Structure 1
Amino acid sequence: MSWDLLGHEWAASLLKQHITHGDVRHAYLFSGAPGIGRRSLALAFAQAINCQSPSASGVPCGECRLCKLTEKMQHPDLSIVEADSEGGMLKVDQIRALQRSVMLSPYEAKFRVALLLNFQRANANAQNALLKTLEEAPKQVILLLTADSPDNLLPTISSRCEILRLRPVPIEKLQENLQSRWHCDPEKSALLAHLSNGRTGLALRMAADPDLVEKRAAWVDELLRLMPLNIRERFAAAEPLSKNRDQLRLTLQTWLSIGRDLLLAANGQSEYLTNQDHAEDIRALAMKLSGEQMVELLNSVDHSLEILESNANLKLLLENLLISIPRIK
């Protein structure tokens, strides 16, 4: 782990300045899409503020005991708070346990750091409970939150944090780095850069696990297979999707990318498609749908993803979505 985070150099520079000037805030919010590097940046910051042998002011050595244990998220002065499962909710009891732990003095580090991952999954009670910690935590406590967007947190939470909004890396830049730094071949680099939409972490996960690319292709095929079916047939075909919240989230995220790709293809911008390996299918589908139908598909999937984060009934959510997806012949 280090500050060498592709695309987030500006954020690393800002955080290093805070350390160098002795101006570290008591709470930070790292926001952006999953796989963009929120956790990596937060952990690099946690290393930097507690490193025992910094190579320069605000620059972690990466070799000392604190740096190594922080990278592994195993240091006793680093508390990790996240939902019990990928699709679960972060609950108030977890925040109350955190409140007790942060009141203790650091074991060996300068700061006790709490990393709250995907805090948009915290229910209202948990978010309200965190306010007490934000307001009353000792000076040696630093809270690091990650979330997809500040808008999905209570305003009273986000307003008390220094917010760093992380953005995707340009596709061309990510493609070049996948080849030069991570030794992916040109064809694979191009595909991963597009599929990840410039999210370095996601691209690297797909590079390390080819099954992720194959699963995503299957989710694309699932949408294409469903669109000619009537409602009854859709319900039957998609019923397995309602059994697993995590699987449904990933499926809908893929369908959302298809909706965007359809609009691009309809406007003659196929070179910008996310799903380049399905470019012919997307162009063919774009010719069968009106602009209004494409927008309806995009909005329906986006709305379903929002509802999914509220712990909604999966079967009902999926059925409502399937009703709204345009039918093709």
Structure 2
Amino acid sequence: MAEKGMWPVYGHNTAVHLLQRTLPSPLADNSSQRGFGGPRHAYLFVGAQGIGKSTLAQVYAQALLCTEPSDRPCGVCRSCRLIRSGNHPDFRLVAPVNREGAVDRSAGLLRVEQAATIIRDSILSPLEGRYKIFLLQDMQQANESFANKLLKTLEEPPAHVILLLTATERTQLLPTIVSRCQVREMQPIAPTVIEQALGQHWQAEPKQAQLLARLAGGRLGWAVTQLHNAKFDAERQEQLETLWRLAAANRIQRLAFSEQTAAKGSQPQLFNMLEMWTTWWRDVLLAQANCIDACSNIDLREEITRQAAHLSQESVQKYIQTLKRIEGYLHHTTNTRMALDVLLLQLPQIV
């Protein structure tokens, strides 16, 4: 857990320390705090999906609006409880939505109508706290109209408004947006910290906590999600068995799988599969370097070692690069079939 005096956030102590220094004095007004190290009008939290960006941003909002101000949110006052439940009148969570307006963080967009609402609401004074805070999740999924409209608030922010933005990559945002934010890079959390958190806070079984901590890639949020996903073990097994089957398949069989997968049109499932495949090949590469103890799939070391013996390090390294290149390509194209064809035709052959 966090150190004593820190916030209820796992593994991001440096970011917490920096944000703590911006907390306002209870006796200062908003304008004076802006000039003397108080909170900035906009922050951008950057890091992998599930690493804890929204969690940290929300805890920061609690600290800013807490009615028992100190160097951390009390967690029990009316303000802290309302933010946690999503009902605070001065805290607004804005997430990507689909065409029908329902929240969809995997495939939705931040749309211009949402930006218009932010601008309209930002003009109004806070109802209970000293700030009006907007948490904008997944800014990498903002459409161009949303981003351009949001710039108006970023360029001329009311003194009482604080914008908290999250994104997986700052390069996916307009440079003009990034330049107007204080950027906080979220670093991967050590597997030991994730394992401890899963066991102590979420009551995970020791073996389950260890495996998820290794597979998480430093993302506690991902690990917690999978801990509560009853289908995770079966889905993981299916994804890996599919990979092994394709590695032994001929070109016709591989292209048939590509066609079937592209026809399903499920981008979230596709990215989950590619992530699992990438983790597997990194484990194979670690085994080839005599570092099997550092692998993520700790329950499948025997199969990792077997496959490592049948391939060259060069071929595995090359395919990992191909996986990352195709994954990036899929974020910017609708031609899933072509991308999968390339990916599967370059898959190393294992007999």
TM, length-normalised to structure 2: 0.85
Out of 186, 207, 226, which is 1:187 matched to? 207
1:200 aligns with one of 217, 220, 236: 220
- 1:255 is aligned to 277
In structure 1, runs of 5+ residues without a counterpart are: none
Post-superposition shift, 1:44?
Answer: 0.1
Q: Report the counterpart of residue 31 of structure 1 in structure 2.
A: 46
Residue 342 of structure 2: aligned partner: 320
AA matched with 2:317: V
1:74 corresponds to? 87
Q: AA paired with 2:308? A: A
Following TM superposition, by how much is the alpha carbon of 1:42 offset from its aligned partner in structure 2, in angstroms?
0.5
Q: Distance in 2 between matches of 1:129 and 1:311?
A: 25
Measured in 2, the distance between the counterparts of 1:83 and 1:181 equals: 29
**Which of 311, 322, 325 matches 1:300?**
322
Task: Write the distance in 1 (CA, Å) between the matches of 2:137 and 2:234.
Answer: 27
Q: How many residues were matched structurally?
A: 327
2 CA distance for matches of 1:201 and 1:227? 31
Question: Following superposition of structure 1 onto structure 2, how do residues 1-329 of structure 1 map, counting pairs within 5 Å?
Answer: 3-20=7-24, 22=33, 23-54=38-69, 57-84=70-97, 85=104, 86-242=106-262, 243-310=265-332, 312-329=334-351
1:317 positional shift = 2.9
Q: CA deviation at 1:180?
A: 3.8
8 Å CA contact 2:137–2:167 kept in 1: the answer is: yes
Give the aligned residue type for 2:339. L
> In terms of mean alpha carbon deviation, does 19-28 or 121-130 score higher?
121-130
Greater shift, 97-106 or 110-119, is seen at: 97-106
Cα deviation for residue 311 of structure 1 reads 5.0
Change (3 A) 1:317 1:80: farther
Cα-to-partner distance string for 1:56-112 (whole Å, 9 max, x where unaligned): x23212122321221123323222222222123333333233222222222322211
Does the CA contact (< 8 Å) of 1:121 and 1:309 recur in 2? no
Q: Deviations over 1:153-178 (max 9, x none)?
A: 22222222111111122222332343
| Range that drifts further, 288-297 or 131-140 | 288-297
Deviations, residues 177-228 of structure 1 (Å, cap 9, x unaligned) = 4334443332222111101123222222222224224322322222122122
The alignment's C-alpha RMSD in Å is 2.2
Question: Is the contact between residue 28 and residue 162 of structure 1 (CA under 8 Å) also seen in structure 2?
Answer: yes
Identity, in percent, stands at 36
Mean Cα displacement is larger for which, 172-181 or 17-26? 172-181
Give structure 2 stretches of 5+ with no counterpart.
1-5, 26-32, 98-103
Give 1:7 deviation, angstroms. Answer: 0.7
Letter in 2 for 1:144: L
Q: CA deviation at 1:117?
A: 0.8
Rounded Cα–Cα distance in structure 2 between residues aligned with 1:233 and 1:65: 60
2-structure distance, mates of 1:312, 1:161: 31
Aligned partner of residue 51 in structure 2, secondary structure: coil
How far has the Cα of 1:257 moved from its partner? 1.3
8 Å CA contact 1:89, 1:311 repeated in 2: no
Letter in 1 for 2:185: R
Q: Secondary structure at the match of 1:76?
A: coil
Equivalent-residue separation in structure 1 for 2:86 and 2:194 (angstroms): 27
Q: What is the DSSP-based 3-state SS (H/G/I as helix, E as strand, rest coil) of the residue aligned with 2:21?
A: helix
Letter of the 1:295 counterpart: Q
